[in-house]
Amino acid sequence: MSYVFALPEFVDAAATELAQIGSTLSAANTAAAFPTTAIAAAGADEVSAAIASLFGSHARQYQAMSAQMATFHDQFVRNLQAGMSAYASAEASNVVAAAQQQVLDAVNGPTKALTGRPLIGDGPNGIAPGQDGGDGGWLIGNGGDGADGTAPGQAGGRGGNAGFIGSGGKGGRGADFRAIDGLRGGFGGRGGDAWGFGNGGAGGPGGALADGGRGGSGGFAGAGGAGGGSAGATFAAPGGHGGVAG
């Protein structure tokens, strides 16, 4: 893989030089406009008049083309400067983002090492089939959503619990059944609880003939999560209970 490195100060210097070249060319074209477009005939005869008219016509065409080239040159310089400004801004944003992440890692590191849970930040969503969502940070963070079940009869993952400020994650959907594996689908995942300020997560829908997940409990003045219904279109089962409000 090849890498391209751009130094803002070099590109800015090149743009400045290009702008100066454009100014010089524009000044030269302006100075040559009148002498070349208003050529007087060398004599009173028709041949001299025709030659003067021909040269004048060529000069006017040149001035028109020069104006178009000047516009193109000016736009090129502007695009170069704008691109460099955007690049420099992105570099500055990356530096700030990296610094913020370093501070967050320093804050979360000890807490996560002791409790397995960060102080600030959302919990990760479940990725593997039926995996539970991660809990949010103790202080601030939403719980991650549980992953859906995929194998026949597999339950959905539980939603992660929220931090002091945040909402619980949604429970995952339970998978439907196959007759050869048994006549019950997977239960819907339970919604995550909110223990501080936030709402409980919604329970996941259950598979065919399986109950939906219970909604998570709400925090202070927070709403409990909705109970999950049955995802089975033909064989329905009771939905999960709604979560308890704070």
Which stretch, 40-54, 155-169, 216-230, has highest mean pLDDT? 155-169
pTM value is: 0.56
> What pLDDT is stored for residue 234 in this prediction?
43
> Higher-confidence residue: 127 or 105?
127
Sign of CA dihedral 119, 124, 126, 127: negative
Question: 10: helix, coil or strand?
Answer: helix
Can you tell me the distance from the alpha carbon of 63 to that of 49, in angstroms, rounded to the nearest whole number?
A: 21
Can you tell me the distance from the alpha carbon of 202 to that of 171, in angstroms, rounded to the nearest whole number?
A: 6
> What pLDDT is stored for residue 242 in this prediction?
46
3-state SS, one letter per residue, for 82-137 = HHHHHHHHHHHHHHHHHHHHHHHHHHHHHHHHHHCCCCECCCCCCCCCCCCCCCCC
Residue 126 has pLDDT above 90, yes or no: yes
Residues in the chain: 246
| Mean of per-residue pLDDT scores for the chain | 80
8-115 falls under which CATH superfamily? HP0062-like domain (1.10.287.850)
First-to-last C-alpha distance (Å) of the chain: 55
Locate CATH 1.10.287.850 in the chain. 8-115
Per-residue pLDDT tens digits for 133-188? 999 999 899 999 999 998 888 999 999 999 999 999 999 998 887 656 666 678 88
Question: 165: helix, coil or strand?
Answer: strand
Phi then psi for residue 58, to 5 deg, are: -60, -40
